[in-house]
Amino acid sequence: EVQVVESGGGLVQPGGSLRLSCVASGFTLTDHYMGWVRQAPGKGLEWVGRSRNKPNNYATQYAAPVKGRFTISRDESKNSLLLQMHSLKSEDTAMYYCLVEGDHGEGLSWGQGTLVTVSA
Amino acid sequence: QSVLTQPPSVSGAPGLRVTISCSGSGSNIGGGYDVHWYRQLPGTAPKLLIFANSNRPSGVPDRFSGSKSGTSASLAITGLQAEDEADYYCQSYDGSLSGWVFGGGTKLTVL
């Protein structure tokens, strides 16, 4: 069964940094596009960014609100996807979901999410 | 302001049919990009309901169907059940933004 599990969320002060991790099981992460989507409390879904698969050199794309502050990378040894977040703002407060992309650019399998709260 | 436009809410009686619309533009749905639909129950992660406009993942009942035409797409749910109460989101890719885009979500209430 394809499964991803996120971790690393928590409370961080404005301007701070945090790194989220997404560990995959049931499949080899290198073969798939992977992504992050967030959801602010009581709000809708917002795409954060994606990492293409290994044949595509793990090329990344980011949404405008996080470009230059967030970085998506992979740790092959741990079969995991990482989201490094810097210069965090209150508007980054959200549940962050890791997902596996399907062949048509859909979110095939989602994790349960990890909550990031940016507050003084 | 979401790139894709969905009605904030829809409702229907048990057993009846509802549709949820998703309106985009020439840089996303109208540009030939696929539309996908998700269902999100309260306090849980979104779950894929329809992919590539009209395809159901394994395990999704045929009460759920999707279609796409021009710059819009729609999700239809027949034989409404109480457990269908949830938030529904459409998603596509936007070539101008170079990334995924979502609708604002539609809350389905089963009367």
CA B23 to chain centre: 10
> What parts of chain A have a pLDDT lower than 70?
none
Whether the CB of A50 is below 8 Å from some CB of chain B: the reply is yes
Tally A–B CB contacts below 8 A.
66
Report the pLDDT value the prediction gives residue B14, as an integer from 0 to 100. Answer: 97
Report the pLDDT value the prediction gives residue B32, as an integer from 0 to 100. Answer: 96
Report the pLDDT value the prediction gives residue B1, as an integer from 0 to 100. Answer: 87
Report the pLDDT value the prediction gives residue A95, as an integer from 0 to 100. Answer: 98
Report the pLDDT value the prediction gives residue A2, as an integer from 0 to 100. Answer: 87
Q: Residue B108 in contact with residue B88, Cβ under 8 Å? A: yes
Report the pLDDT value the prediction gives residue A81, as an integer from 0 to 100. Answer: 97
Nearest to A30 by CA among A70, A77, A85: A77
Cβ <8 Å between B34 and A97: no
Q: Which long-range contacts (CB under 8 A, 24 or more apart) does A38-42 make?
A: A38/A92, A38/A94, A38/A95, A38/A96, A38/A97, A38/A116, A39/A94, A39/A95, A39/A97, A39/A113, A40/A91, A40/A93, A40/A94, A41/A93, A41/A94, A41/A95
B108: tokens are: 């389905």
Report the pLDDT value the prediction gives residue B41, as an integer from 0 to 100. Answer: 96
Cβ <8 Å between A45 and B102: yes
Q: pLDDT tens, B51-95?
A: 999 999 999 999 999 999 999 999 999 999 999 999 999 999 999
d(CA B105, CA B89): 5
Written as one letter, the residue type at B45 is A
Q: List CB contacts (< 8 A) between A46 and chain B.
A: 102
Report the pLDDT value the prediction gives residue B31, as an integer from 0 to 100. Answer: 96
A60: tokens are: 């990344």
d(CA A76, CA A53): 11
